């Protein structure tokens, strides 16, 4: 993942219902600290799930929301192979997401462009 890449926040109904405050996170494997995904977190609270439509990188994890949920992969660390989460549909919004295992990842704040 290039450090030169810049991202701009996605703005939609999901962001609006969470109060408009978003952060860009590097989501890292807790075991080896490899960056697993660049993720837009909307609103306050812990990171318990990662919505597929909010993953900016890497390429193989973007646009997974267009897949059928049964075709979506497990969320795995590419470096050490640790399984970090499982795909599911968040019932409240019928929105595809990865349910993260407890304490599987570390989140680090990231600047919009760096
Ligand atoms: Zn790892």
The predicted-structure confidence for 22-51, as pLDDT tens digits, reads as follows 999 999 999 999 999 999 999 988 899 999
| Rounded Cα distance, 37 and 16, in Å | 23
| Rounded Cα distance, 52 and 25, in Å | 14
59 CB-contact burial (10 Å; exposed 0-12 / middle 13-18 / buried 19+): exposed
Query: Measured in angstroms, how far is the CA atom of residue 92 from the centroid of ligand 1?
Result: 30
Mean pLDDT of residues grouped by 10 in the chain (114 residues)? 72 86 95 97 93 96 95 97 98 97 95 62
Query: Measured in angstroms, how far is the CA atom of residue 102 from the centroid of ligand 1?
Result: 15
CATH class of 13-108: mainly beta
Domain ranges of the chain: 13-108
**The pLDDT of residue 1:** 52
**The pLDDT of residue 21:** 86
* pTM score, whole prediction: 0.89
Query: Measured in angstroms, how far is the CA atom of residue 17 from the centroid of ligand 1?
Result: 33
């Amino acid at each position: 993942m290039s450090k030169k890449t810049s991202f701009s926040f996605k703005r939609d109904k999901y962001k609006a219902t969470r109060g408009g405050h978003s952060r860009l996170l590097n989501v890292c494997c807790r075991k080896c600290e490899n960056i697993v995904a660049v993720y837009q977190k909307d609103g306050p609270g812990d990171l318990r799930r990662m919505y597929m439509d909010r993953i900016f990188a890497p390429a193989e994890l973007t646009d997974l929301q267009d897949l059928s949920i049964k075709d979506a992969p497990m969320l795995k660390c590419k470096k050490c192979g640790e399984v970090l989460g499982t795909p599911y549909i968040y019932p409240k919004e019928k929105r595809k997401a990865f349910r993260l295992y407890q304490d599987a990842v570390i989140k680090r704040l990231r600047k919009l462009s760096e």
